[in-house]
Amino acid sequence: MNKKIITLAVGAVMGAAPMVGAQADVKVYGQAQAQVYRADNGPNTVTLQNDNGGRGRLGFLFNEKLGNGLTSFGKMEFQVDINDSYSAGCKSVTKTSGGTGIVGEQTCMRDAFVGIKGGFGSIAGGSFHGAYKTAGGVKYDPFVTTALQARGNGGMASGRMASNNFVRQIVQYETPNLAGFKVQYQYSFDQSNPGTPNSGTTNGDWLGAVKYKMGPFEAIAAYAHDRQQSGPNSANNNWKVGGRFHTGPFMVTAQYERVETGATVNFNGISNTAGTKAKVWYLNGGYKLGNWDLIAAYGKYDSDNNALDTKYWVGGAWYHFSKKTSVFGGYRASLVDTPNKDQKVWATGLRIDF
């Protein structure tokens, strides 16, 4: 469908069709995914149809050239679950801190922000993917937002200060490309929540990432500081390093994390807290053969208290009918040292971008 027609239709619904029509730099986009997977959760086996609550989305990108090398820009993206008529992602979450009620956030809004960019880089405010999350992380996992994904399944840490969810009430600065280097920094000035771990972005929380790219090589490093309720000097911190080598049809990726927040193993249908600290390794390799992407991955989740040490294995493939329509399939095993906590999953699904 022609995106200009979609933009005009959305504007008409909002009662502002002429205004939208005049904005040539508005882009409407989206993704939809459906999957079926069979999960063997130790003593229980279930077969589910689920889009994994993360890949369905509808978004708007907009920008305007202001002159003098400046451009204003923004984004609004919403979660859309094609398998759920009421959209579970839009439930209100009530946060508390020290017994004080905090206004719940509507989590159906994914990332949304406005900003200004120019030769200095860019500065923006709003809700974002965490810098830690997108430095390597979800960008390195070909099966992210499927039942085969690494995060929470033994291959990557989960949580808003790791590889899940979003950071909100954030001011973000990104440098321009500096001889292959790019730096991203995010800080929260929000004083409404003085600090409860993983309850929402807190005043004093910050995340940073450095990325370097030269030819087929990429290297990343990231850090996340999660301020705690007990005071400004009390915090949990995550850090990671990683890299990718991609040449011709071959791709290899590696990542190491040391996490104090988001240290959980959270399988579909089974949720286990692994303790306060963990070390996480992730390695994958891929080979492109025509329309096929063949992928194998290994991860190791090593909890400091040895509560739920986990090995993560994946083998699978994507077949691309076009740049916008793909199917995937594969097998995941998350093998936990604790009895009856293993999970083995067969999954297949269809994804369409527009």
Q: Which of 2-16, 176-190, 195-209, 253-267 has the lowest mean pLDDT?
A: 2-16
Q: What is the pLDDT of residue 198?
A: 42
**Residue 52 neighbours by CB distance under 10 Å:** 22
- Residue 257, pLDDT above cutoff 50: yes
Mean pLDDT of 13-19: 41
> Using one digit for the tens of pLDDT, what is the confidence trace for 75-125?
999 988 777 644 444 554 444 433 333 334 445 888 999 999 999 999 999
Residue 218, both tokens: 């990429």
Work out the pLDDT band at 277, boundaries 50, 70, 90.
confident
Mean pLDDT of 36-61: 76
Q: What is the pLDDT of residue 1?
A: 45
Q: How many domains is the chain built from?
A: 1
Q: What's the CATH code of the domain at 26?
A: 2.40.160.10
Which range is most confident: 29-38, 263-272, 275-284? 29-38
Q: Which of 153-162, 201-210, 223-232, 284-293 has the lowest mean pLDDT?
A: 223-232
Does 203 or 153 have the greater pLDDT score? 153
| Rounded CA separation 61/73 (Å) | 8
Query: In the 8-state DSSP scheme, what is residue 90?
Result: G
Asked whether 213 and 135 are in contact (CB, 8 A), the reply is no
Does 286 or 230 have the greater pLDDT score? 286
**Residue 132 neighbours by CB distance under 10 Å:** 31
Q: What is the pLDDT of residue 278?
A: 86
Helix (H) or strand (E) holding 292: strand 292-303
- Residue 218, pLDDT above cutoff 80: yes
Mean pLDDT of 267-290: 76
Mean pLDDT of 290-311: 88
| Rounded CA separation 212/214 (Å) | 7
Work out the pLDDT band at 351, boundaries 50, 70, 90.
very high
Asked whether 255 and 239 are in contact (CB, 8 A), the reply is no
68: containing domain: 3-353
Q: What is the pLDDT of residue 303?
A: 82
Does 189 or 92 have the greater pLDDT score? 189
Asked whether 265 and 308 are in contact (CB, 8 A), the reply is yes
- Residue 149, pLDDT above cutoff 50: yes
Work out the pLDDT band at 227, boundaries 50, 70, 90.
confident
Does 60 or 2 have the greater pLDDT score? 60
| Rounded CA separation 332/314 (Å) | 4
Q: What is the pLDDT of residue 106?
A: 43
Greatest C-alpha distance within the chain: 65
Q: What is the pLDDT of residue 229?
A: 54
Q: What is the pLDDT of residue 223?
A: 96
What is the phi/psi pair of residue 352, to 5°? -130, 130
E strands, 215-263, are: 217-228, 231-247, 250-259
Work out the pLDDT band at 337, boundaries 50, 70, 90.
confident
Mean pLDDT of 137-144: 95
- Residue 35, pLDDT above cutoff 70: yes
